[in-house]
């Protein structure tokens, strides 16, 4: 692959974060997670962090422009010059269009989009388990329901968006983390050079 920008798509709790960490080590590509950047801003009490808290705690999306600016700034850093893994971004068609423009303006392109898929029951189970283990403020049953709903209405349309651009690759997210990891690396290795 000449450009190594890989987008990970999939509902909350599907395992994007866990897989991205391993894929990042495997390919030496930075893992850019908007959720992690947002949580860090909240924890550090930055001015933006204060604005983010309300959205994250209610399971809503942060407004597009805020996230787009944040990602553009991150992509301009030296370690992303050869590519990166985008985890949790884009999350709306507006964000995907902004990313497309950004890449066009900067002479870069998306190598592929990996959609990790599992059933809704399995998702709920994993999210509740993560909430108990990690104590994330947005892994409560009410917020989980809101986030799954937001995924369906705002983010799932990206599956079609990237399918139309022949960039979409679906990967089954059921099975052990090792099995899913193997499916993802096989997919990434199949991207056109």
Distance CA 78, CA 61 (A): 28
| Residue 20 vs 184, nearer CB to ligand AMP | 20
Stretch that binds ligand AMP, among 2-10, 86-94, 171-179, 184-192 (CB under 6 A): 86-94
Of all helices (H) and strands (E), which one includes residue 25? helix 16-27
Distance CA 189, CA 193 (A): 9
| Residue nearest to ligand AMP as judged by C-beta position | 35
Out of 22, 51, 55, 185, point to the residue binding ligand AMP (CB under 6 A). 55
The verdict on whether 130 is a catalytic residue reads yes
| Residue 4 vs 91, nearer CB to ligand AMP | 91
Out of 9, 14, 29, 38, point to the residue binding ligand AMP (CB under 6 A). 38
Determine the size of the site formed for ligand AMP (CB under 6 A). 17
74 binds ligand AMP (CB under 6 A): no
Beta pairing partners, 149 = none
Distance CA 116, CA 120 (A): 12
173 binds ligand AMP (CB under 6 A): no
Which residue among 4, 16, 126, 183 is the active-site one? Answer: 16
Residue 169, both tokens: 């690759």
168 binds ligand AMP (CB under 6 A): no
34 binds ligand AMP (CB under 6 A): yes
Q: Minimal CA–CA distance to 56: which of 73, 33, 40, 39?
A: 39
- Residue 107, judged by CB atoms within 10 A of its CB (0-12, 13-18, 19+), counts as exposed
131 binds ligand AMP (CB under 6 A): no
The verdict on whether 165 is a catalytic residue reads no
CA distances from 58 to 55, 112, 140 (A): 5, 31, 10
* Phi, psi (rounded to 5 degrees) for 12: -60, 140
Instruction: List residues near ligand AMP by CB under 6 A.
Output: 12, 34-35, 38, 55-56, 59-62, 67, 88-89, 91, 95, 138, 147
Residues annotated catalytic, as ranges: 16, 91, 130, 136, 147
């Amino acid at each position: 692959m000449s450009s190594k920008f890989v987008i990970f798509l999939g509902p909350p709790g599907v395992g994007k974060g866990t897989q991205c960490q391993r894929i990042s080590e495997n390919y030496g590509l930075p893992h850019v997670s908007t959720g992690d950047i947002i949580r860090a801003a909240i924890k550090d009490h930055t001015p933006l962090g204060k604005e983010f808290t309300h959205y994250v705690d209610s399971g809503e999306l942060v407004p597009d422009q805020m996230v787009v600016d944040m990602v553009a700034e991150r992509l301009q850093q030296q370690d992303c010059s050869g590519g990166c893994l985008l985890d949790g971004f884009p999350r709306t068609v507006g964000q995907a269009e902004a990313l497309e423009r950004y890449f066009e303006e900067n002479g870069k392109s998306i190598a592929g989009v990996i959609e990790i898929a599992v059933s809704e029951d399995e998702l709920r189970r994993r999210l509740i388990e993560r909430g108990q283990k990690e104590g994330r403020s947005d892994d409560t049953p009410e917020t989980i329901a809101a986030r799954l709903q937001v995924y369906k209405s705002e983010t799932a349309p990206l599956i079609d968006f990237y399918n139309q651009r022949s960039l979409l690759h679906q990967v089954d997210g059921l099975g052990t983390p090792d099995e899913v990891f193997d499916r993802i690396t096989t997919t990434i290795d199949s991207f056109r050079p």
